[in-house]
A and B are shown apart, each in its own frame.
Chain A
């Protein structure tokens, strides 16, 4: 009996070795281990054995069953692995094809710059003030120390609507309106972003509409050195911590003393290149101490308070920053242009 069992085991293991498919394996499993299989039959015949033989043969029979079961399981595992392998192979895709991206929008390059400037000055404790784009002559010129027929009005050729109403040529009227609304209170600390209009023929560097950010501070003891400190801080935040500024005496009717402000050219770091016309400096803004007549007209006593003001052309800065060579791009709205600014 023992021999029969052992040969059965050999026979089964041999056959299992030859199995080609999971179905075949199943058939073999039933053939050897099933209720009608030879192993069951042998076990059933164990009743005729002696009491000494029975446990011995029982152990052999169990070993044989265990060996066959293990072999079946091993083959089954192999078939499962192969099946999984095959399915994964089938599911393979081209991972280099592009993903599904929703369309990307973006903020206009000019407002990106305006927002950055606003953030810098908000951080320095300024508020943002706004006012009408169409203005009275008084707010745009007269209250800024530019009486009618003043030659300095030539500096800003303007679009009039009536004799007394025009498109503002700068955002300075917002400064005047803000000071008036403060009714002599200090401190005033504002920036005024917005659109302004000048009678220029549009070309690569001129636009009849452009964007300004102006600033105004009025307080009991505002000094020219404060203006310098403020603009240096602004320049460092706007253009990078290495940036230096240079102030040159200039003239604006609403400030005295007045200064043009240059920053170190970002593309050459001040060594001189084509962009800065080999000077190492780029002119970015006009500034100065608020003219006493401007303070007076807005309801302040120039003997009690002083102030500084500055004005920055946003297009100019955007052009330098992004390397844009034609100011008209900002207003033509070619989507191929705008799309380039759809970035973080």
Chain B
């Protein structure tokens, strides 16, 4: 809402307060003022001139030489290039010495040899928003009404000595979508009076009663609680008075003609949208407010044919639709240059209905904006009278007697009760009865107070106030939020704490970042192709699709974090960053449903991507490239850090988008189950090539599946008191036998004495024979209670060698 300071001062005495002061007051009172704009963009010495003569320039086709009377002794000679300039016009003249908004200073000049003593200005040159002006005026000079007095300062004529406050209204304060609403607010803040317009001033009534000329029926009473109309005869369509046009332009509304301008003017003044029908283009003497028929077609006054639905409200003349209630009029009954009789509508339409209609049709107007937020039922008749009176004054009309209306139900002010005790308890204040009473009085909320209990009669203009807490808010904001004390919450002490999973997640963030990985954060929406390319752990799920995505690239919910990490790698590689080690925590969204009837499962994932050099470049050596065992190391470190060594098993795995020979699955394993919870591997070389990436390794782990298995506490083991014995075994096996299964066999075939087991060498060479490899294992044995005997170790050792031989055909390497 744009509020002209000058216009506002008609309702409230603003003496002593600048527009800037008002902006500050309003903002601190809860109505944010975005900006205060001066309508004068820097004009000096521009006056009304009268063009007495116009002749073609002798040497330039497109120039005119004008004689202009600006009220001084001699007429000025001005050369003007505008096509629309003509003798007999009143125009804005920048005289020698004048200044224009772009900083231009007007000097005496010669144009193609002819002297020019000033400049005739266009609206744009005066700094006016020409979007608000008719096209012919946009292209030429601004032609002023004949009544403008010669020599008057243009700032006065166009009301440019004004400032406009632009309000950023919250949805509850739709009362301030009207000048009167803002006036009430300002009057409350300043403690001053509100001067209301006399709605029937200038009203001329005669002849048949309006109720006989047009009968009103409401067949959708839920959606329209009140419909009123006046009939105005004998109007003459013409421009509206300049002061009205100026105010409309200050409010950002384009002047059209007197009738339309008056409906807009009164809408701005009262917040009540009005509509003027050309009565002669209506079928007869009735108006019926009904639901549209499903599929009914209707051409709105922007000449677009719309298909309506049965929840939409249509104003009809008994035969055809003439307006889409509260949203837009119809082309078939629009006021035109020849309109002589008007049916003027003022009604209360249901906000939700208007909102839904305007949304569905994509038609948002100043009218729908106000109806959506519920107009003040008390102003339906006031606004109607006010507009009819203005039409009698400025459009030459005469109103038929009275009003024709149908009122479904009377709107009464709501009574809300609140006690002083509740106010003070709720706010933490110690206000007195008088202080609260003063505030209610300033608000112009009538009230009764009995034993510190206030019963407030809330004016209908403040439809946002329905509960005691709403009154408390009014009291608080007018008392001043700054005045409310600061206190500590009373009552029992509550311990602050993270849950186990929150602690683990935090701890992993620290672990990974101190291991050299940077944390990334990607959007949650991806495109379906990305998922097909790299589906991760859940290739079988249906990605959840947004109903109305903003783009194809962001149309479905991610089912894996990997596609975006890969995109991130591409992005960085394109910027010559080649060494990456990155992790991300994020949710994925899983469902088997084609059409969601319940929320999808959200699972928290941890993903890691590594590519390029393992360590930063150093002058003292060539860095090694990241390989599979770096990313595997990250996974192993997480597993060990969380104490999950006995739960997680790694096995070979084949997945879309991954290198078939360099990918492992991480399985959560116990006696009864074996669930895939992670993937470790290299991207498929073809995918790498397509993305122009070097060898890239990724890990994705369903962190949600781990939390419940993480031991709550560290279990301490007493330090060993007896020496350990180590033995190495090197065996030759087929290439295809993995270290993992060899180690499984060792563990299974050795007793409790085996303390630790590790691989310390892998060797392949010709003398081992084709397809063979040697795996060297280091075993450590220990007994907690005594020193081990050589013989028992040897027995164990032989048992293990036998098991390796029988299970894997392993031979001891000589």
Contacts and interface: CB of A to CB of B under 8 A. Distances in A.
Interface stretch (B225-233, B279-287, B571-579): B571-579
Given A225-B427, A249-B477, A107 B489 contact: no
B775 interface: no
B218 to A, nearest CB: 21
28 contacts: A97-B620, A100-B620, A105-B517, A105-B518, A118-B498, A134-B599, A149-B355, A151-B372, A155-B171, A159-B547, A160-B546, A161-B547, A162-B595, A162-B597, A167-B546, A187-B492, A197-B524, A221-B490, A223-B428, A224-B427, A225-B484, A228-B484, A248-B32, A249-B30, A250-B30, A292-B469, A335-B518, A335-B582
A98 B519 CA distance: 26
B506 A115 contact: yes
A154 B602 CA distance: 27
Interface in A239-261: 246-251, 253, 256-259
Contact of A195 (B29, B502, B524, B548): B524
A66 interface: no
B509 interface: yes
A188 to B, nearest CB: 9
B30 A134 contact: no
Contacts of A84: none
Contact of B428 (A130, A162, A226, A336): A226
B762 to A, nearest CB: 26
Contact of B469 (A108, A123, A249, A291): A291
B216 to A, nearest CB: 26
Interface of B: 27-30, 32, 170-174, 351-352, 355-356, 372-373, 425-429, 467, 469-470, 472-473, 476-477, 481-482, 484-499, 502, 506, 509-510, 512-525, 544-550, 554, 557, 568, 571-572, 575, 577, 579-583, 587, 589, 595-597, 599-600, 602, 615-616, 618-620
Interface residues of A, number: 87
B524 to A, nearest CB: 6
Nearest to A122: B496
A209 interface: yes
A296 to B, nearest CB: 11
Contacts of B428: 223-226, 228
Interface string A150-171: 1110110001111001010000
A147 B488 CA distance: 34
B242 to A, nearest CB: 35
Contacts of B28: 248-249
Interface stretch (A19-27, A46-54, A325-333): A325-333
A111 interface: yes
Interface of A: 97-98, 100-108, 110-111, 115, 118, 121-128, 130, 132-136, 149-152, 154-155, 159-162, 165, 167, 187, 189, 195, 197, 199, 201, 208-209, 217, 219-226, 228-230, 232, 246-251, 253, 256-259, 289, 291-292, 306, 330-336, 338-339, 342
A338 B577 contact: no
A330 B581 CA distance: 17
- Closest 6 CB pairs between A and B? A225-B428, A249-B30, A251-B170, A257-B473, A223-B428, A122-B496
Given A105-B517, A151-B174, A228-B487, 4 more contacts: A187-B492, A223-B426, A247-B484, A251-B173
Given A224-B427, A333-B571, A257 B477 contact: yes
B615 A257 contact: no
B193 to A, nearest CB: 23
A330 B522 CA distance: 8
A217 B557 CA distance: 32
A333 B521 contact: yes
A217 B579 CA distance: 46
Contacts of A108: 519-521
A249 B29 contact: yes
Contacts of A100: 618, 620
Contacts of B470: 256
Contacts of B495: 125
A219 B355 contact: no
A118 B495 CA distance: 13
Contacts of A187: 491-492, 494
Given A128-B499, A225-B484, A249-B473, A133 B587 contact: yes
A258 B356 CA distance: 27
A107 B584 CA distance: 10
Given A127-B496, A135-B599, A291-B469, A251 B572 contact: no
B517 A221 contact: no
A135 B596 CA distance: 12
A246 B514 CA distance: 39
A208 B525 CA distance: 10
A97 B516 CA distance: 22
Nearest to A256: B469
A336 B582 contact: no
Nearest to B359: A149
Contacts of A229: 486-489
A330 to B, nearest CB: 6
Nearest to B597: A162
Nearest to A130: B502
Contact of A306 (B426, B595, B597): B426
A338 B519 CA distance: 7
Contacts of B490: 221, 226
Contact of A102 (B498, B512, B615): B615
Contact of A121 (B484, B496, B499, B549): B496
Nearest to B514: A105
Contacts of B27: 248
Contacts of A155: 170-171
Most buried by A among B355, B494, B495: B494
Contact of B513 (A107, A223, A292): A107
Contact of A223 (B487, B497, B580): B487
Contacts of A232: 486
Nearest to A124: B496
Contacts of B600: 134
Contact of A103 (B488, B489, B525, B616): B616
A249 B589 CA distance: 38
Contacts of A123: 496
B428 to A, nearest CB: 3
A342 B513 contact: yes
A16 to B, nearest CB: 47
B171 A251 contact: yes
B490 to A, nearest CB: 6
Contacts of A259: 481
Contacts of A122: 496-498
A96 to B, nearest CB: 11
A225 B596 contact: no
